[in-house]
Amino acid sequence: MDYRSIKNSIPLPLAEESMSQGAGDGRLLNGADKPRNGSPDSFCDLQEKPTLPLFGMDIGGTLTKFVYFEPENFDEFDVEERRILQIIHRYLLGDTAYGKTGIRDVHLEMGDQKICGRTGKIHFIRFPTSQMSAFIDLVKTKKFSGLASGICATGGGAYKFAGVFEKEIQLQLHKYDELECLLKGIHYSDRYNHRSECYYFSNPLDSENCEKKPFDFRNPYPYLVVNIGSGVSILSVRSKTDYTRVSGTSLGGGTFLGLCCLLTGCDTFEEAIQLASSGDSKHIDKLVKDIYGGDYSKFGLTGDTVACSFGHMMSKERRELASKEDLARATLVTITNNIGSIARMCAKTEKIEHVVFVGNFLRENQISMKLLAYAMDYWSNGCLKALFLEHEGYFGALGCLLEYLHLNHQG
């Protein structure tokens, strides 16, 4: 993937009036090894030791995300608690894959976590929500039903599957607000991840000079959160308790995957991303130079700017030449550009300079991250910075684990 192939993908709709003032590089860390305190908000200030096991679950429209806190010292527990924890440990942590679709993201593990007087490690697991029935069957087969009386859950599936969980495996889902859990998870991971959680890209479209750099998120407010799941929600966050959903779009990660399945015959997100990484969207999209014969200098638009997504597909001859890879790339670029356009307009309206992009759409998807990074910077004349987080997609589930601590404390 070269510099031009990504740069050519920046869309015409982003070329709106730029913000007049900016923050440049803002609060940048001097190096990845610098000690970090994270967000000023604390969600684990309770001292009473909670009942284990500790789980958090985010059941999205496309993916279900699951986090588990593994205590460090089993000897601290009584015989029954130790038995339960050893069963969980043997299955959940005995492998990194579960069946054909379940994955434990080992590289995201957060060690040396001190939660309510206990030290341990947080694990991150995901599987397609379409496989929920298989997950429930697994819980039955492994006899996990008696290991916990309830799980704090968020996402639409927390409501959709609540009855099934209670009926089939006698497990209550304590339901929590999706966006509130998202923010709690973001702040916790940034504060307690011993490695840098927040980062940005410098020179995002230059394959030789592009660098991933840590960003100091200790004093984050105000900031914009663009949560890219099946659809997209955009939040304006002013403080721990002051946040508003300011916009969104139904064209999100689920749209990308659905269209790719229709256009290319692929079956999974990973396959769609792999196809897109080998494609060239300019064979599918109509550029400014295809319309004007070159640059549109009056408005600062280069000839390689996208003027019409999928514009070449109006031609029968072009359709016959279109490859699966090119179609997947154009689909990815179209969805990403739409999200970037809306995010930039929201940032301008809210007068916010830092935009945090999160969600499973960005998992293993550096094409979109670099497009967003370039677009935010270029079309705002350096006023906006696109920020990313290492645990993208898991913040809702992590927030639910924290909610369980408070539920346990209250109960």
- Cβ proximity of 55 and 70 under 8 Å: no
Cis bond upstream, residue 128 (ω within 30): no
3-class secondary-structure state, position 123: strand
Q: How many CA atoms lie within 13 A of 74 on its CB side?
A: 12
- Cβ proximity of 269 and 253 under 8 Å: yes
Largest alpha-carbon pair distance within the chain?
Answer: 77
Distance CA 158, CA 59 (A): 6
Among 110, 101, 58, which Cα is nearest to 391's?
110
Q: How many CA atoms lie within 13 A of 111 on its CB side?
A: 3
Strand bridging mode 198-202 / 110-115: unpaired
Tell whether the torsion through CA atoms of 351, 357, 359 and 360 is positive or negative.
positive
3-class secondary-structure state, position 28: strand
Among 201, 240, 200, 202, which Cα is nearest to 220's?
240
Burial class (CB in 10 A: 0-12, 13-18, 19+), 195: exposed
From residue 59, alpha-carbon distances to 63, 229, 267, 277, 394 in Å are: 7, 11, 20, 28, 11
| Number of residues assigned to the chain | 411
What's at 320, amino acid-wise?
E
Distance CA 327, CA 322 (A): 7
Tokens 């966006």 sit on residue: 179
- Pick the catalytic residue: 17, 76, 178, 208? 178
3-class secondary-structure state, position 43: coil
- Active-site residue 317, yes or no? no
Distance CA 46, CA 56 (A): 17
Distance CA 136, CA 152 (A): 16
- Cβ proximity of 223 and 355 under 8 Å: yes
**Residue 389's beta-bridge partner residues?**
198
Active site residues: 178
